[in-house]
Amino acid sequence: MRKIRTYNQVDPAAGRELLDQVLAQHKRLAERLASVGSVVAVMSGKGGVGKSALTANLAAALASAGFRVGALDADLNGPSLARMLGASRGRLVDRADGVEPARGAASVSVVSMELLQADEDAPLRWNASTGHGFVWQSAAETGALREFLSDVIWGELDFLLIDVPPGVDKVSRLLELLTPGRTLLVSTTSEMSRRIVARSARFAREAGLPNVSLVVNMSEHVCESCGHHSPLYASDGAEALARDTGLDVWARIPFEAALAESTDHGTPWVLASPNAPASVAIRSIAERLADERNAARAARAEAR
């Protein structure tokens, strides 16, 4: 048999153009994120638990407290963040060094696939002269997410909140690009939610994600007339989730129909009704994030 030199035996500099392009992409991403104080991922693994509404309200709460906030909708196939922040037809200013994000409620910078699609209700479709989407679609979506992170002029931000779509595979895509400084794992109190979010908690642990905490959304119903609190489910799956995973519960956000109504129409509930129980709970998360950010700043200043 002829002896043909292997890939690693020939000149290492040869054939590097693809690798060099990938490395350049990573460099650009790192440079863009260098001006972001804290990246906060809002994820769950389960759909329908209110991740996007929490992200929009949390972004608005932080921004109205004086922080510079960006919100990235990583849900490319079911985007909603721009709409929830009142920027659904917002525009992106096209510059040579990137695009400026749209501005949403409380001046939150927002980027979402929804902004880029002509038809708001159309499914995400890519130009392709071939089928076999299973081969390349995941790469295209990871690439789109990378561009949202690296090609958007986020500027100096205190917080970049990322609304991560359901599915552990989607979290993996994000982790290929960055490691969030804080991850909020959202669950409801239902048993089904407990089961699915437990998988995500395990994934986060195995992936070595730092600073993961739980947020219990729709923890109970609060009557808007009399203020009576009543549970939504017979058992508290979130309590069991916290016990089994050992994760801190950062907040329990009560269900309020008006929160969804207001946020779906582009006005985050924390702005529309700042003293409502759900708004108070969301603001408590914002305060913890702010404390964390201030502590990190102080530690950095002391180290200098």
Partner 1 sequence: MKFLCIPCDHVMDFAERQLPGDGTLAAVFACPSCGREIAMLTNPMETQLVSSLGVKIGGREVPEQPLELVRSGLADGREDVFAEPMAAADESASALAGADARVSWTPDALERLDKVPRFVRGMVKRIYTDYAKEHGVRSVTVEVMDRARSDLGLEGM
Positions touching partner 1 (CB under 8 A) are 2, 4-5, 7, 10-11, 14-15, 17-18, 20-22, 24-25, 28, 91-99, 115-119, 122, 124-132, 135-137, 139-140, 143-144, 146-148, 151
| Shortest distance (Å) from residue 127 CB to partner 1 | 5
| Shortest distance (Å) from residue 119 CB to partner 1 | 6
| Shortest distance (Å) from residue 166 CB to partner 1 | 22
| Shortest distance (Å) from residue 128 CB to partner 1 | 5
Rounded Cα distance, 102 and 143, in Å: 20
Taking the least distance from each CB to partner 1, the nearer of 173 and 283 is 173
Crossing angle of helices 17-33 and 133-150, rounded to 10°: 40
Taking the least distance from each CB to partner 1, the nearer of 99 and 198 is 99
Taking the least distance from each CB to partner 1, the nearer of 30 and 258 is 30
Map tokens 């104080």 to a residue: 37
Taking the least distance from each CB to partner 1, the nearer of 32 and 194 is 32
Contacts of 210 (CB under 8 A, 6+ apart): 179, 181, 182, 183
Crossing angle of helices 168-175 and 133-150, rounded to 10°: 50
CA angle 147, 153, 154 (to 5 degrees): 100
Residues pairing with 217 in the sheet: 253
Taking the least distance from each CB to partner 1, the nearer of 147 and 264 is 147
| Shortest distance (Å) from residue 24 CB to partner 1 | 7
Taking the least distance from each CB to partner 1, the nearer of 129 and 275 is 129
| Shortest distance (Å) from residue 172 CB to partner 1 | 16
Question: What is the residue-wise DSSP string for 7-55?
Answer: GGGS-TTTT-HHHHHHHHHHHHHHHHHTTEEEEEEEE-SSSSSSHHHHH
Closest CA to 160 of 53, 261, 285, 69: 69
